Chain A
Amino acid sequence: MIWQAIMNRPKSVPDCIDRRSFVRNAILAIGVAGTAFPGLDGLVAASRGSALFFDSRRLAILDALAETIMPRTDTPGARDTAVPARIDALMKSWASPQTRLDFARVLDEVDAAARGHDPRGLAALPAARQLEVVAAYDNAKMRDAGYAKFKALVFALYYLSEAGATQELRYEHVPGAWEPSITVTAATRGWAIDTSP
């Protein structure tokens, strides 16, 4: 459904650009640099109907950063729910110039931190090392408005995706009843949408 909505939006790039090949070329460029880029399918699928916003270098960082923040565990993660691709699409459909700058800066800063371990940056690090770098960045940047907005967007896109809301958490669009007192068990998961502000 999300993709439908994106594709229904008026095209902002000339039709002469073959978006799919543009993306594939971008991916290949990263491949040449020797960086694993497991978000390939999601990004290619998501780009149908529009060109990508971030360049291939930042897309690779975005992909690694989002998945590190919200990894696949026994349920899907950020990559499985196309969070990186959806953030990229929102850069054009939603983000203000300031937000675009902030998010690009966040990606660059995280990557700069990663280059202390590997000159190829975050996307090239093993998952454990990615977590180490991102956790340190997260801890240091909690009061950075740009990063806080980025992280909140990763959370929102993940937990309000179909998999995030219904597999990782619970969601009922039409509860049909108000049951004010329920016992929590070991299996109880939180509600993806609450009445909370």
Chain B
Amino acid sequence: MFDAIVVGSGISGGWVAKELTEKGLKVLVLERGRNMEHGADYKDGLMPWELPDEGRIPEAEIARDYPIQSTLFSFNAANKHFWVKDSESPYSTPEGKPFSWYRGYHLGGRSLMWARMSLRLSDLDFGANKKDGHGSDWPIRYADLAPWYDHVEAFAGVSGSREGLPQLPDGDFLAAMGMNDVEADFKKKIEANFPGRTVIPPRVANLSEVREQHTDLGRGPCQYRAQCGNGCSFGAYFSSLSATLPAARNTGNLTVITDAIVHSVIHDAKTNRVTGVRVIDAKTKQGRTYSARMVFLNASTIPTAQILLKSKSAAFPNGLANTSDMVGRNLMDHLGGAYAMGVYPGFEDRYYRGRRPQANIIPRFRNVDSQENYLRGFGMVTMAFRSNWKMASMAPIGVGAAAKAAMRKPGPWMIFAGGGAEMLPDRDNRVTLHSVRKDKWGMAIPHIECTPGDNDRKLVAAAQADAEAMLGAAGVRIIAKGNGPNAPGNAIHEMGTAHMGSDPRTSVLNKYGQAHDVPNLFISDGAAMASSATQNPSLTYMALSARAAHFAAEFLKAGKI
């Protein structure tokens, strides 16, 4: 009997495990994927010319096993083992309604592959559902989460600059990673031409400097290698493997079991408490159960809904904690495909050294102080770089010694600006269980139906127009444009399938991340989100997780659950 079972070892599950074990609770973390050793299982130390098959994955293998995962730019031979085989991890979508689902089944989950952009939501976001009536009003506001943002940022380590922007609150950041000369020039031009807009350095969970809480865990500073997608043996970016799980292990209160696929949560109708989980061993397919005084679902947005829907009983015929019928509904992502890229004039004598691990940010500027003919907003990123042989290989560079000589020099400056648009919560964008199809463990596969709505499309169109206008104002010759929206799922920000709200009739979780229906069941992964906002969401999952763990431990201690 454990004090708590945490289902999932990714970015949110790692936080719950750390917080609960540090409060003295005995915690079992269940991970459906295989074990992954920090450092030993990374291929970040290989030189480019040392990669097997020249860094290439056989085209036939990609077509057979990775048709979806391989569409990510970061997918390569050095990190193939981070991604699921699509052939083994099926889900279904309705004809003509694609949804792209990117996943990794291993200890640490997607905290190994995340892009590390770490942005706080603001009251513009927490108040949005109430203001325009879409979705459930968030049961919390920025003031509720601010101390938890402080808490998780200090431990994780987030580089950034203090800007005083109400729509993108500051934290106690590590030193900012500076802009190159073209980016600085672009910032000047944007601020001069577009009042209310700015360009700021990345807010990224890479250690631009190390503090005691980082060195205590053996984490080192960012080496600016741009190897993050392959894992970081320096522990310079935050992940469950570099930070939260080691901290949880240090307490002596942590048990981790990998290759354990949670089938369902066990509910005792007499006490209306969950008592544990049923697990399928990923290797042997044998079933077994684990017991605990409370359960946290941090399996990620779609599997968390899948587990709840699978956990049917006489008390919960539509799935556990689902009297609201909201489990699986309001699936959201950030809609991409709005961008522009082009050649930036001048600055031929300027260059840089090192590979900064993230792009700069153009914080939300639409519907901040005024109202457009659409609701909500979008965030943007931008970066400038000098093109090299890689881009030249797509250009009419020619062949022979002349082409080689041309590519020896740093190429023309390029700049990119693109956005991710907020999706409105929509009850018809939902995850259900497929009525017939099962995976190789006998689990009903998720059926995902998610399409952008009218407002979502307007936002993408507006982001596209703004990206082009901003580059145009900087004198950029645009050579590539987006044609969004991309299929939902593409931003890998899926969220919303068991959302927080004040009303048990219309939401799944209360303000603590506690299920309205079952007091000792908590959810603090992306499923908990009541709206998508425009910010990359992982930092908010972390803050919600630390906060939920705090209250869960209090309630347990007080004998309330």
Nearest B-chain residue to A182, judged by Cβ: B351
Per the bound structure, the CA–CA distance linking A182 and B354 in Å amounts to 11
Q: Given known contacts A1-B50, A182-B351, A193-B355, is B393 in contact with A152 (CB within 8 Å)?
A: yes
Q: Residue B93 at the A interface, CB < 8 A?
A: no
Chain A proximity mask over B408-439: 1 for CB below 8 Å, otherwise 0:
11110010100000000000000000000000
Chain B proximity mask over A177-197: 1 for CB below 8 Å, otherwise 0: 111111110001111111111
Chain A residues closer than 8 Å to B54, beta-carbon distance: 2, 86, 90, 94, 156-157, 160
Q: Mark B327-360, 1 if CB is under 8 A from A, else 0.
A: 0000000000000000000001111111110000
> A138 near B: Cβ within 8 Å?
yes
Q: Which of A135, A138, A171, A196 contacts B391 (CB 8 A)?
A: A196
Q: Establish whether residues A195 and B400, one from each chain, have CB atoms under 8 Å apart when the complex forms.
A: no
Nearest Cβ distance between residue B339 and chain A, in whole angstroms? 11
The smallest C-beta distance from A20 to any residue of chain B, in angstroms, reads 22
Cβ of A185 to closest chain B Cβ, rounded Å: 8
Contacts of A96 in B (CB 8 A): 58-60, 63
Please determine whether A195 and B383 come into contact, CB atoms closer than 8 angstroms: yes
Closest B residue to A100 by beta carbon equals B59
**A31-39, A51-59, A68-76: which one contacts chain B?**
A68-76
Contact among A90, A152, A171, A177 for B53, CB-based, below 8 A:
A90
Q: Across the interface, which residues of A come within 8 angstroms of B407, CB to CB? A: 159, 169, 190
Taking CB atoms, residues of chain A closer than 8 Å to B405 are 73
| CB-CB under 8 A for A171 and B350, given A134-B400, A138-B398, A196-B390 | no
A192 — which chain B residues lie within 8 A by C-beta? Answer: 48, 388-389
- A138, A151, A180: the one contacting B178 at CB < 8 Å is A180
Q: What's the Cα separation between A183 and B352 when bound, in Å?
A: 8
A residues in contact with B45, CB < 8 Å? 173
Contact with B along A77-95 (1 / 0, CB 8 A): 1000000001000100111
Residues of A within 8 A of B57 (CB): 94
Q: Which residues of A contact B226 (CB under 8 A)?
A: 193, 195
Smallest CB gap from A186: residue in B: B409
The verdict on A174 contacting chain B, using a C-beta distance below 8 Å, is yes
The interface size of chain A toward B, counting residues with CB under 8 Å, comes to 61
Task: Name, among A5, A68, A69, A90, the residue most crowded by chain B CB atoms within 10 Å (CB to CB).
Answer: A5
| B352 and A70 form a contact (CB under 8 A) | no
Contact call A184/B355, Cβ cutoff below 8 A = no
> Known contacts being A70-B404, A135-B400, is A190 close to B389, with CB within 8 Å?
yes
Is there an interface contact between B351 and A197, defined as CB atoms closer than 8 Å?
A: no
**Complex interface: chain B residues within 8 A of A156 (CB):** 54, 390, 393
Chain A nearest CB, measured from B381 CB (Å): 12
A174 CA to B225 CA in the complex, in Å? 5
Smallest Cβ distance from A149 to chain B, in angstroms?
Answer: 10
**In the assembly, what is the distance between CA of A160 and CA of B50, in Å?**
10
**Are A160 and B48 CB-contacts (below 8 A) given A131-B399, A131-B400?**
yes
Q: Is A101's beta carbon under 8 Å from chain B?
A: no
Pairwise interchain contact A151-B393, C-beta atoms closer than 8 A: yes
Contacting pair A184 B349 (CB below 8 A): yes
Check if A168 is an interface residue, CB within 8 A of chain B.
Answer: yes
Within the assembled complex, what's the spacing in Å between the Cα atoms of A176 and B56?
Answer: 27
**Which residues of the partner chain A approach B50 to less than 8 Å between Cβ atoms?**
1-2, 5
Interface residue? B158 (CB, 8 A) = no
Q: Please state if B388 and A182 are interface contacts (CB–CB under 8 Å).
A: no
The reply to whether A5 and B53 contact each other, CB–CB distance below 8 Å, is yes
A77 CB → nearest B CB, Å: 8
Residues of A within 8 A of B387 (CB): 194, 196
**Does B53 lie within 8 Å of A71, measured CB to CB?**
no
Contact partner, B352, options A162, A169, A181, Cβ 8 Å = A181
Nearest CB on A from B206, distance (A):
10
Query: B183, B225, B410: which contacts A173 (Cβ < 8 A)?
Result: B225
Say yes or no: is B386 at the interface (Cβ < 8 Å to chain A). Answer: yes
Q: Which residues of A contact B56 (CB under 8 A)?
A: 90, 93-94
Contact between chains at B404 and A5 (CB < 8 Å) = no
Within 8 A of B (CB), among A93-120: 93-99
Q: Name A residues whose Cβ lies closer than 8 Å to a Cβ of B.
A: 1-2, 5, 68-71, 73, 77, 86, 90, 93-99, 131, 134-135, 138-139, 142, 148, 151-152, 155-157, 159-162, 165, 168-169, 171-184, 188-197
Q: Can you list the 8 inter-chain pairs with the closest CB atoms, starting with the nearest?
A: A96-B59, A175-B354, A178-B354, A152-B393, A179-B353, A160-B48, A180-B178, A1-B50
List 17 A–B pairs whose Cβ atoms lie within 8 Å, in order of A's numbering. Answer: A73-B401, A90-B54, A94-B58, A98-B59, A131-B400, A134-B400, A139-B398, A152-B394, A160-B48, A173-B45, A173-B225, A180-B180, A180-B181, A190-B409, A193-B226, A195-B385, A196-B387
Residues of B within 8 A of A (CB): 45, 47-60, 63, 73, 177-181, 183, 222-226, 348-356, 383, 385-394, 396, 398-401, 403-405, 407-411, 414, 416
Given contacts A69-B403, A90-B56, 15 further A-B contacts (CB under 8 A): A1-B47, A96-B63, A135-B398, A135-B400, A151-B393, A151-B399, A155-B392, A165-B48, A165-B49, A169-B407, A177-B353, A181-B181, A181-B352, A190-B389, A193-B226
